[in-house]
Every structure is written in structure tokens, then in C-alpha cells.
Structure 1
Amino acid sequence: MTSYTIQEINNLLKGELIGNTTQPIEGPEQLQNAKKQHITFIGSHKYVKYWADSKASAVLVNDNLTVVPDENRAVIKVKNADLAMAKVLELFNPPAPAFESDIHPTAVIHETATIGEGCKIGANCYVGKNVSLGKGVILYPNVCVFDETTIGDHTIVWSGTVIRERCIIGNHCIFHTNVSIGADGFGYRPSDDGRGLVKIPQIGNVIIGHHVEIGANSCVDRAKFSSTIIGDGCKIDNLVQIAHNSVMGCSCIMAGHSGLAGSVTLGDGVIIGGSASIKDHTTIHSGATVGAGSGVMNDVPAGQTVLGYPAQDSREMLKQWVAMRRLTKK
């Protein structure tokens, strides 16, 4: 079993070690669930009180918090305990599933496909006509990549993911289980006789930048024409919907169950909270934040935080909630 001394961990983190422990650290754990072989972390004042009763032998703490070491228990002060814990998690991260062969014999690969150096393709994968895979791409079992799609270097695609035709995927992306990239956008109009619906053809594609991560069971629909675009560094949670012709800037975050309707535009660094929904043809400018469960009906200025349904400036919405609460108490 992998273990490290507290000195080895502190050398990695370059923090301030207070106290000491001779206990080998065998992994990280939550503060209240930790055992003596664990290191834990405290990033907020409200959790400091739990340190005394925790069985952890070491703790990472923000340097603005007062946490006192105990007998054979150490404290490492760092600027940001969350980021420090991320480094510790990397130390104990188990290896990814192994491939017995680089390309499994049950994989179906079209003769026109280009497979880069060091690619690994698992059992029952399908790689279509004129697909191009860059260096070191990993397709885990049961992945489908359809015709004329390009995937950049060192992108990882987990099982069950389907990447439809003509998509363009960047380098170092991660698509988790059952992601859908490039399915038809949702486009229908009433028929002339008013007795049915006419499907609008969706002939565009999806373009995804570099270092994008998309969570399990999320969908990015292809455009009606032109492209649905996800910028470099975006991070998308599980069960997220991104509709046709939406455009996301760089380093946006979308939490679980949130969704963009058609032709939504996000600037750089936009944060969308869980279960928030964004109306079609809406623009959310760079640095804005949409609170969880909110419904955005209008454009959001750069840097603004909005809450509620319909979403409004967070300060105004909080005032309304306080006023409503006072009314109910009368």
C-alpha cells in the first residue's frame, strides 16, 4: 500500500508544518470519517471545531485559520487547502484501467481512419470513415466515433460515449461515461396545416476546444448550421444540456442539471449553478455567475451575479426574499 511521511507530503505542498506525526499517511479522508492513517483538510472556520474529535493524524488548513496540532498529530498550513488537497489526491490516485492490447480485436475501425501514435482503443469501439485520432487518444470499451470527426492529442473518452459525425475535438479533453456529442439539435416547427410538427434539419457540427472536461450523461447538440462551440478549459458536470448553436467562451463552469437552450452565448469564465436554465438567444457576459436553480430570461452583464426565477441581480433578489419572509411573519 502506498504511504508517505508527513515530511514528504509537506515537501510537495511547500506549506508550513506545525507539529509532527510518525504515522505513515496512507490516504486522504473527510475530517469526521478519517482514521489515524489519514490526512484531512479544513478550508473553512465552521469545520475547525471538528479537528479535536477527528482521528486523522494530519490536516491541511488555510493559513488564516487557527488549528492546533496534538500529540503525534500534525498541521500543514497552506494558502488554499482545497488546492493542496488536490495535490495530495494525485499522490494516491489509483492507475486507470489497463489495456491488454493497444487496439482490441473486437474494435471496428474504418480503413480510412487515421490512428495516431500511442492510441488505445478498447473492446467493441467503432471508429468511422475519415476519422482522425491524434497521439495518445484513449477510447475505452463501447465508444463510437462517427465519420469525419477529429479528436486531438491525449483526449480520453470513457465507455458509452457517442461522438457524432463531423465533430472537432481538441487536445487533452476528458469525456466521461455516456456523453453525447453532436446529436441533432432540438428543432421543430408546426406544419402548415397545423396538424403536426416539422423537423428542422440540423446540419452543423460541434467544436470543442482543448482541456475541456464533460461529465457523465451530458449532451452537446450539433448546430442547425455553423457550429455549437465549447471553448478551451470549460468544465461541464454530469447531466448537463448544451443545445444547438450555443457558444461557450473559455474556462466556463456548468454544474449538474443546468442547461443552455439554443443559441445561448457565454463569455469567458462564466459560472452556471446546478439546475439553472438559460433561455434561448441569451448572452451571459464574461465573469458572470448564475445561482443554482435560477432561470435566466435576459442578458446578464459582465461580472454580475444573478439569482432567482426569473433571475435578477443577486442583491436585489436577496432583498425581495427578505421582504417576503417579513410579510409571512406578520
Structure 2
Amino acid sequence: MKTFSIEDINAIINGSVVGQTTNKITGLEQITKANKNQATFIGNRKFATLWKNSKASLAIVNDKIALEPGENRVLIKVKNADLAMAKLLESFTPVTPYFETEIHPAATIDKSAKIGNGSRVGAGSFIGRNVILGNNVTIYPNVTILDETTIGDHTTIWSGTIIRERSVIGSHCIFHSNVSIGADGFGYRPNDDGRGLVKIPHIGNVVIGNAVEIGANSCVDRGKFSSTILGDGCKIDNLVQIAHNCVLGRSCIMAGSSGLAGSVTLGDGVVIGGSASIKDHVTIHSGATVGAGSGVMNDVPAGKTVLGYPAVDSREMLKQWVALRKLAR
């Protein structure tokens, strides 16, 4: 068990200490569940009232929130409690699953594959022909990486993930369990004789930049002709669909159960809320936000926030909702 003094913790987050405690900190927890040996976080005033009855010995608090520590308790005031929490969570992160050997004897690795220094491959994983793994790549058990795929340094692939042929993956990426990269896009046309559907082949690939994280059970389909592209720093939640030939700029965020139809373009820093859906061939320009549950049918200008189904300017949609409530009365 990791144990930290208040001084140890403040050395990590560099805040202002208020109060004293004799208790050591062995973990982090929600304010209503914490015990005397745990720290908690208060990043919003609505949670400040919970501090009085919390059993936590330490709270990391936004410095604009007025709060007293109380007896044998400490506050560490910081500019941004959420960022401080991220730093502390990293310090408390448990040890990752153990590899007895770097390359497990039960892994299947084609003789043409190139495995970089310090890379690890777990039991039951398959590494195909002409695959290139960079240095310090971690492949957990039961991962499939098919032919001519390239994966950059320090990337981590969790169990159940399948990376199809010719994919290009950057460095410092994280793919969680059961991610699908490079499957065929969803493309069909009615047959000339009207009997059944003709499958449209997809001969492109997927290109993923550096420091991209993709959540469990999410799918990124390969391009019909060229590439489906995710730019550096994109963060994709669980159960997200990114269809063929989509192009995401840098540092886009897609929350759970959202989806992009084919050939959607996202600029830099676009945020897509949970369960939102984007029509094919739409462009959402840099800095725009799509509210949760929205359906985007048309291009969205840079910096705009849209909401609703179909999505419109968020202020306009909120006015519509107010008007509907008044009609209901």
C-alpha cells in the first residue's frame, strides 16, 4: 500500500496547505465515501457543503472556494482541483499486470515481424506478417495485429483488441479492451436486378496519430479509398463509432456512444457529447461543441455550440425548449 504525508502530496500538486493532520494518506475517494486515511477533491462549490460531514483528512480544493479545514484535517488549495486530481491519481495508480517474459511463448509472431527493444507481447496474441512494433510497446494477451501494421513507441494495446492490416498507429497511444481498428466500412448499393445488396469494398487503411486514447469496444473503420485519420491527442470514449474516411484533427474528444457517419471531418479541438450522431460528409470546424444526444445534419462553424435533434445553435435550442414548456402549461 502506498502511503503519503501531506508534504509528499503537496510536493506533487504544489498548492497552498491550510490546517494540520496526524493522519497519513493511503488512497483517494469521493467526498462522501472517503475515510480518515483518504484524500478527496472539491472542484465545484456545490460539493463544498459536503466537506463538513466527510471523514476525509485531506481535500484538494479550488482556491476560489471558501472553506475551513476543521480539526485534524487539511485543505490544499490549488488553481485547478481537477488537474491536481489527475496528478495524484497517477501517483496512486496500481502496478500494471505482470509480464514474466517480454515475449510470451504462447504468442504467435510471424518471422518477418520486427519487435522493438523493451516491447512485450502477452499470451495468445497474434502478430502478423511485416508488422513493426516500436520500442517499449505493450501488447496484452489475446490481441490480434494483422499484416503490415506499424505501431509507434510506448503504445499500449489491451486484451481483445483487433488491429487490421496496413494500419498505422503512432506513439504513446492507449487502446482499451476490444477496440476494433481497420474493419471494413459500412457500404452497400442495391443490385442492378433489384435482388439484394452489393458490398462496396474498402481498400484503404486507418492512420492514428500520437497520444491517442481509444476506449473499450470502440470502432474505427478503414477508408474506402484512402485513410480514416485520427490526429494527435484525440481522446475517444467507450462504444464510439468512427466510420470510413472520417478525418479528426488534433485533440478531439468523443464521449461514449457517439458516432460519426462516413467522411465526416472534425477540426482541431472539437468536442462531441455522449450519444450524439453526425451525418455523413459533414464538417465540424475547430473548437466547436456538439451537445449530448444531438443529431448534426449540417456543417458547424468554428467555435459554435450546437444542441438538439436536428442540432441548431445551442441558444436557439434552449429558447425552443423554454417555449415548449410554456405551451405544456
TM-score category of the 2 structures, normalised to the smaller one: over 0.9
In 2, the alpha carbon distance for the partners of 1:36 and 1:320 equals: 48
The answer on whether the counterparts of 1:229 and 1:248 sit within 8 Å (CA) in structure 2 is: yes
In 1, the alpha carbon distance for the partners of 2:12 and 2:230 equals: 34
Partner of 2:323: 323
In 2, the alpha carbon distance for the partners of 1:199 and 1:279 equals: 21
In 2, the alpha carbon distance for the partners of 1:2 and 1:152 equals: 32
In 1, the alpha carbon distance for the partners of 2:91 and 2:250 equals: 28
Question: Could you list the per-position Cα deviations for residues 95-151 of structure 1 after superposition, in whole angstroms to 9, with x for gaps in the alignment?
Answer: 110101110111111111111111100001100001000001110000000000000
Partner of 2:192: 192
| 1:22-61 aligned within 5 A | 22-61=22-61
Question: Could you list the per-position Cα deviations for residues 217-268 of structure 1 after superposition, in whole angstroms to 9, with x for gaps in the alignment?
Answer: 0000000010000000000000000000000000000000000000000000
The answer on whether the counterparts of 1:248 and 1:265 sit within 8 Å (CA) in structure 2 is: yes
The answer on whether the counterparts of 1:5 and 1:22 sit within 8 Å (CA) in structure 2 is: no
Partner of 1:70: 70
Partner of 1:296: 296
In 2, the alpha carbon distance for the partners of 1:169 and 1:86 equals: 25
- The alpha carbon displacement at 1:20 in A equals 1.1
Task: Please state whether the residue corresponding to 1:51 is helix, strand or coil.
Answer: helix
Task: Please state whether the residue corresponding to 1:303 is helix, strand or coil.
Answer: coil
Q: Kindly provide the amino acid, as one letter, of the partner of residue 109 in structure 1.
A: I
Give the CA RMSD over aligned residues. Answer: 0.5
Q: How many residues align?
A: 329
Q: Which moved more, 1:87-96 or 1:275-284?
A: 87-96
- The alpha carbon displacement at 1:212 in A equals 0.2
Task: Please state whether the residue corresponding to 1:321 is helix, strand or coil.
Answer: helix
Question: Could you list the per-position Cα deviations for residues 15-35 of structure 1 after superposition, in whole angstroms to 9, with x for gaps in the alignment?
Answer: 010111110001110000010
Q: Kindly provide the amino acid, as one letter, of the partner of residue 145 in structure 1.
A: I
In 2, the alpha carbon distance for the partners of 1:269 and 1:125 equals: 34
In 1, the alpha carbon distance for the partners of 2:23 and 2:131 equals: 52
- The alpha carbon displacement at 1:69 in A equals 0.8
Partner of 1:92: 92
Structure 1 unmatched runs, 5+: none
- The alpha carbon displacement at 1:197 in A equals 0.2
Partner of 1:171: 171
- The runs of 4+ residues in structure 1 deviating greater than 2 Å are none
- The alpha carbon displacement at 1:303 in A equals 0.3
Partner of 2:144: 144
Partner of 1:214: 214
Structure 2 unmatched runs, 5+: none
